[in-house]
Structure 1
Amino acid sequence: MGALSSRMLWLRGGHAPEQPGAGGEEEEEVAAMAVVDEVEEDSEEGGSSPSQGGVKRKADSGEPHEQEPHRKHTKDSSGSVYEALFLRGEGSDVQIRALGEVWNLHRVYLCQSGYFASMFSGAWREATMNTIELQMPDENIDREALHEALGSLYEDSVLIQPSRVVPILATASMLQLDELIQQCGEIMEETISVHTVCSYYYSAGSYGLPNIRTMCFQWLLDNLMTHHSEELMREINLDIMEELIVSSELLVLEVEMDVYTMLKKWMYLQLQPTWRGPHRALLSDANLWFARCKRELDGTPFLETPQGRAFVPVFQHLRLAYIVCDLPSARIIDQDALIPATWLTPVYKEQWLALLQAEQTRELGPIAVHVSNFQGNTMRCGHQVHREEPCSWRWAGFNFGWDLVVCYASRRVTFRRSALNNSHGLGVSLLWQRKIAFRLCLVSLDRAGRTVFRKDTEYQVLSLGKDEELEVANLGNQDVVFPIYVACNFLYLPREGSSQE
C-alpha cells in the first residue's frame, strides 16, 4: 500500500511518483491533480463532502443469509475522488467499454490492477488507445460486479453483499485485484451457510481460494446428513457428492443405511429438479418414481439404465457391507432394485465369511489397524444428544449383534459391553473379551451449520471385557453447545488380510 499512499499524497499536490504504464503524459497527471484539488475545495466550502450527499450503492435484499456488508479500507476517505473521478469521470484519459456500459476512467488509477498495469505498460495495442473494449471470458462477471471492481480503485470502502460476492470475486480475479479478492474470501469465510456453501465451493476452486474450498467441504461433511434441505441437494453435483460419500468424516445419522436413503433422494432431485413438496413427502415420491421405472424397465437395476449410469461413481462408494447386515435394510435394497446384483453378491459372501470367521475362530477383533484401511472400511454411525442429560443408545444393524452400548453422562462418552436383553446377539457376543477399532468425533453446530465445537479422538484399538465400561471421550469443562452430534467410525471384525498383521 506504500505506492498507493504515495500516489494519493501526490494527487493532493505533492511530488508525482513514476507510475509504470501510466502513459508518461504529464498533462494527464496534472489534469487528475487539478480535478481532485477542485473537488476538495468544493467540499471545504460546502461544509460536507459529496459522499455525504450519498450516491446510493445497489444491494440485494431479503435473502435469509444476507449479513451486514463488509468494507475494504484502501483509498481516500473523503469520497471526493470516487464521486468526481469515477462516477463523473472528470479528467478521464481512457474509456472502458464492457457489457453495454461505458466508464470514463484514469490510467493512473487503473494501474493499481495487475490486468491494466500489464496492458498499459507492455507492447499491447491498448497501451496507446483512448477507448478499450473489454471482453468478459467469465459468465460470472456482470455489469454491476465490474462497476464495483472498477470503483474499488477509487474509493476507501466497498460494500459487498454475500449474494454478490461470487460475481465480484470473478471480476476481481480477472482484473488481478488482490485486496478485493482477499476481502471476498473473508466475506465467504464468515457467511458459509446452506444458501451459499455450494456456490462458494465452486467459486473457491475456480478463483484460487483453497482455504475457502476446504471450509465449504467441511461444512458439507458436517451438514449434508443433518440439514434437511432439498435446495442444497439440488445444488450438489456428482463430483462433490462422490467426494462426500467416500469420506470417513461424513457425519452420518444414524447408520450407513441413512447414507443410501439420502443418496436415493438426492438422485431423484437431480433427475426431477422441478419437484416441490413438503420434506416428509420427498422419500415416498422418490420411491414411487423409482418403482415405476422398475416396472417399465422389467426389473433392470436403475444404475444400469441410461439415466442411472451417471450416478454409478457415487453409489459405488456406499459401504454396502454395513447395510446388508441389517435385515430391514437388506430388504429395502432388494425391493428398490437401484443397485445391481453383481455389486451385492460379493458383499453378501464377504459378510457371511466374516461371520463364520468370528464364530468358528473366536476372533477377538482387529489387532493392528492401518489408517488407510480404516478410513475406507469403517462403519459410520452417529447420534444426536439433544441436551445435557444422561442417555444411551445402540446403533441398529451393528454388525453381528455385538453387544456395544454407547453412553453419554456427566459430559463423558463411554462404551459398555452388555449382552443383556440383546435380541439380535449371536455367539460372538458371548466372548469374554473383544477388541474394537474406532475414531470418535463430537461436534456442535450453530444455526448456520458452522462448527462451534469439535473434539476428535485418534484412531485407536480398544479392548473390552464382558460387562466392562471404558471412557472414550471427556468434555470436562469445555464450552459445549447443545445439541451435540456424536459420530463414530467402527471396525470390529477384520476383513481377511486387510487389517491384521
Structure 2
Amino acid sequence: MKMLNPQKPRLERRIVGSTNRWRFPRQPFSGDLLGLSQMCKAANVDFDEVLKNPDRLSISQIQKLFPENLKNKAIRNGEADVILECLGFKWELHQPQLFQSETLAKLYLMGLARGDTNPAKESVEILRAQQPGRSREQRPAKKMILSLKINDPLVTKTAFATALKNLYVHEVKMCLDDVLGVLAAAHILQFGSLFQRCVTIMMSGLTPSTIKTFYLAGCKYNEESLTTACQKWMEMNLVPLVGTQIHLRKIPKELLHKVLKSPRLFTFSEFHLLKTLLLWVYLQLNSNTQTFPMHETVLMFFSSFPKNCSFLDRDVGQNLIPLFLCLRLHSIIKGKDLEELRHINFFPESWLVRVTANHYHALENGGDMAHAKDLSTQALRFGLLFNQEYTTHSKVITIYGFFFEIKGIKHDTTSYSFHMQRIRHTDLECASVVYENTPISLRAERLVTYEIRAQTLVDGKWQEFRTNQITQKFGLVKPSCKSHALKIQTVGIPIYASFSFIFSLS
C-alpha cells in the first residue's frame, strides 16, 4: 500500500474586522497579512524582508526610525499627538511615550499607515513644530484617534490610568490593592518594564489574603517567576501562618497539591500538616463559615458522616485523595493522634492498617523503619520557627522509645546554628507525667540518617542552607549524642528550620 504524503499546513481564513483576510496559523505572524503590509508601509520596511526576518518589524527596530531627540524629549506644555479611546474615556497621549508600549506603538503605526503617512517624516514635522520660535499656528496639531478594546475584568479605569501615567513618570507609586489591576493593564499594553515592576511588588507583598489572587494572576499571564514565588512562600507558610487564618479556604487545590509534594515544605510535625489539610477541606465544604473554626469543630464535622464508609471513599472525597497521598501518615506516631484519625473515619481502613503495621514492626525491631528508604519523601519531619525574640529555641520529640531534642541557637545578630541530640528519658522535665504511656528504649546506640535545612527570606529572595544526608550512630553521652550542626550566616528572620530523619536498619 502506498503511503500518501501528509498535507502541508495551509493558511487559515478568519474574520478580521469587516473583511476576510488571510492569516498565518502560527507565530510570529499571528496578525492578518493586510495589517502586516500596512505596518511595513508605515515603517518604511520591505514586506518581503519582514516575511524572511520578523524581527525587522519589532517595536525596538521601528523605534530607531524616529529621531533620538524626539524619543527622549520631555513633554512640556505640548499638545497631545494621539487620543486613545478606551474603557469609555479619552486619553491624550504624546508620540514619544507611545513606544514604551508595544500595543500603543502598533496601534499608532497602523494609524499612520491608514493615513498614508511616513512616520519618519511625521516625526520630523512634529519636532520642527516644537522648536523655539515656531508658533503652533504654523502647523495645526493633528491628533490621531486610536481605539483599544479591553475585555479583561481586572483592568479598571483607575488601574489603566495608573499604567498610562507610568509612560510619563518613572515608577509611579502603587498600593498593594491596585497592583493586580495595573499588572493586567501592563499586560494588555505590552508595557514590559511596568509589568515586571508589578511582579516584583507582588512577590514582596505575599500574605494569606493576597496569595490566591497573585498566584492566579501569575498563571493567567504565564509569569513563571510569580507563580514560583507564590509556591515557595506557601511551602514555608502553609502550616505556621496560612493554616491559622480563614484565608486558608482561598488556596487553590492545584497550588496546595504542588506545595504538599515539595520536599521544601515546612511543618512543625506531620500531625500539624494533617490538621491544616483537614481544615482546608472543612472550609471548602462549609463556604458560609466566616470565622476560623476550632480543631474540635472540624473533627466533629467529619465524625458526623455515617460510619459505613470513610470520607475519602465517598464521592465528595474521591478528588481529594491525591492531596492526602502526599502526607506521610507513618510520621504520626502518638497514640492519641492515631486514635483521633480512627475516630473521625476520614481515611480508608486500609491506610490506617498500613500505618499501624509499620509502627508495630518498627517497635518490634528496636525502631528500625524498614518501610522508609527515601529521606526526601519518607522521612519523619519536624520544624522550628526561629523568630526575632529567640536566643535559643528547642523542642523534644519521641519516636519508638527514643528521645531527641531539636534545637536552634542565635550566636550573634547574623549567626545561627541548628542541631539535634539524643537525650535520656530521665533528663526530661515532668517525664513521668508527659510520657507516662510512651515506650522507652534503653538501647545504647541508634543509627539515624538525617538532614537539617534552614530557609529564610532576604530582600525578596529565599536563602536556603542544608547539611548533606548524614548517617550517624547516636549514643547517650557526648559527643556521640549530638548531630552535626548546620551553621548559617543571614540577616533574614524568621528562620524556618526543618529536621528530617529515618531510623536506619542497624
TM-score, with length taken from structure 2: 0.67
Structure 1 residues 287 and 209: alpha-carbon distance in aligned structure 2, compared to 1, 3 A threshold: same
The equivalent residue for 1:343 is: 351
Aligned 1:486-501 pairs, distance under 5 A = 486-493=497-504
- Which residue number in structure 2 is paired with residue 48 of structure 1? none
Contact between 2:211 and 2:251, CA under 8 Å: does it hold in 1? Answer: no
Deviation at 1:486? 3.4
Aligned to 2:253: 238
Could you tell me how far 1:203 is from its partner in structure 2? 1.9
What secondary structure, in the 3-state scheme, does the structure 2 residue paired with 1:430 have? coil
Structure-2 change in CA distance of 1:392 and 1:179 (3 Å)? closer
Say which SS state the counterpart of residue 162 (structure 1) adopts.
coil
The one-character-per-residue Cα deviations of 1:103-158 (angstroms, maximum 9, x if unpaired) are 34456643432223344546999888965543334332222222222333344442
Cα contact 2:386–2:495 (8 A) shared by 1: yes
3-state DSSP of counterpart to 2:218: helix
Is 1:117 aligned to residue 105 of structure 2?
A: yes
Q: Distance in 2 between matches of 1:196 and 1:318?
A: 26
1:391-470 equivalences under 5 Å are: 392-395=394-397, 398-408=398-408, 411=411, 412-421=417-426, 423=435, 429-443=441-455, 455-467=465-477, 468-470=480-482
Mapped pair 1:96 → 2:114: no
Give the alignment's Cα RMSD to 1 decimal: 4.0
**1:450 to partner: Cα distance:** 7.2
Q: Which moved more, 1:232-241 or 1:96-105?
A: 96-105
1:322 is matched with 331
Q: Does the Cα contact within 8 Å between 2:208 and 2:248 map onto a contact in 1?
A: no
Q: In the alignment, is the contact (CA less than 8 A) between 2:246 and 2:290 conserved in 1?
A: no
1:150 aligns with 2:164: yes
CA-to-partner distance for each residue in 1:38-96, whole Å, 9 max, x for gaps?
A: xxxxxxxxxxxxxxxxxxxxxxxxxxxxxxxxxxxx9776x746xx65xxxx443xx43
The one-letter amino acid paired with 1:330 is L
One-letter amino acid of the structure 2 residue matched with residue 348 of structure 1: T
* Alignment partners' CA distance in 1, 2:157 and 2:399: 58
State the match for 1:62 in structure 2. Answer: none
Encode CA deviations 1:316-370: one digit per residue, 9 max, x unaligned. Answer: 21111112x32111111011112121332333333433444x34xx96x79xx98
Task: Give the conservation status (yes or no) of the 8 Å contact 1:21–1:117.
Answer: no
Counterpart CA distance in 2 for 1:105 and 1:22 is 23
Amino acid at match of 1:230: Q
Aligned to 1:42: none
Cα displacement (A) at 1:239: 0.9
CA contact (8 A) 2:466 2:486 kept: no
Unaligned residue ranges in structure 2 (runs of 5+):
1-38, 45-69, 117-142, 412-416
Counterpart mapping for 1:476-491 below 5 A:
478=489, 485-491=496-502
User: AA paired with 2:103?
Assistant: Y
In 2 relative to 1, CA 126–267 (structure 1 residues): closer, same or farther, beyond 3 Å?
Answer: farther
Amino acid at match of 1:399: I
Matched, 1:473 2:474: no
Instruction: Name the % identity.
Output: 20
Distance 1:452 1:24 in 2: 45
Deviation, 1:261, is 0.8
Aligned counterparts of 1:455 and 1:76: Cα–Cα separation in 2? 49
> C-alpha distance in 2, partners of 1:181/1:125?
28
From the superposition, tell whether residues 99 and 343 of structure 1 become closer, same or farther in structure 2 (CA, over 3 Å): farther
Matched-pair contact (CA < 8 Å) for 1:378–1:491: yes
The answer to whether the 8 Å contact 2:159/2:185 transfers is: yes
Q: Which runs of 5+ in 1 are unaligned?
A: 1-19, 26-36, 38-73, 495-499
Of the three residues 187, 210, 221, the one matched with 1:207 is 221
Q: Partner residue of 2:13?
A: none
Distance 2:175 2:158 in 1: 12
2:299 to 279, 287, 291: 287
Cα distance change of structure 1 residues 109 and 444 upon mapping to structure 2, 3 Å threshold: closer
Q: Distance in 1 between matches of 2:472 and 2:112?
A: 68
CA distance in 2 between partners of 1:401 and 1:348 (Å): 16
Question: Matched residue pairs, number?
Answer: 402
Inter-partner Cα distance in structure 1 for 2:114 and 2:161: 20
**SS where residue 438 of structure 1 aligns?**
strand
Matches of residues 60-209 of structure 1 in structure 2 within 5 Å? 80=76, 85=79, 90-92=80-82, 95-105=83-93, 109-121=97-109, 132-209=146-223
Note if contact 1:443-1:451 (Cα within 8 Å) is conserved in structure 2: no
